[in-house]
């Protein structure tokens, strides 16, 4: 539904608001009690006062030079026979 990709890289990860909550290594995470989801829900209530929010979850994937975050109901990982296979298998097992 929503996504953001890019900053921070691994050197600046300590400045990310989720770093203190444990998002401090490469991998995949689910953010419980997401401020981002709460912000989106509050913005929608301006036009739709009875808005109860999307049934989405906040996922974050930390890579070496970037980070990917999304608000989605779920995600599917499709792997190829490339070097990233092990990373995604690890990310799924940690979530």
Q: What is the pLDDT of residues 4-17, one digit of tens each?
A: 999 888 888 889 88
Length of the chain: 95
Say what the pLDDT of residue 94 is.
44
The strand pair at 57-62 and 27-31 is best described as antiparallel
Say what the pLDDT of residue 84 is.
60
Report how far residue 73's alpha carbon sits from residue 34's, in angstroms, rounded to the nearest whole number: 14
CB 1 within 8 A of CB 72: yes
Say what the pLDDT of residue 57 is.
93
Average pLDDT of span 83-94? 55
Average pLDDT, the chain: 82
CB 7 within 8 A of CB 66: yes
Confidence of residue 93 (pLDDT cuts 50, 70, 90): very low
State the pTM of this model.
Answer: 0.74
């Amino acid at each position: 539904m929503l996504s953001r990709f890019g900053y921070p890289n691994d050197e600046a990860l300590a400045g990310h608001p989720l770093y203190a909550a444990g998002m401090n290594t490469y991998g995949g995470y689910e953010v419980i009690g997401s401020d981002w989801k709460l912000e989106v829900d509050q913005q929608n209530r301006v036009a739709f006062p009875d808005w109860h929010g999307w049934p989405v979850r906040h996922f974050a994937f930390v890579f070496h030079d970037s980070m990917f975050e999304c608000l989605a109901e779920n995600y599917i990982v499709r792997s190829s026979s490339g070097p990233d296979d092990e990373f995604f298998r690890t990310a799924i097992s940690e979530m």
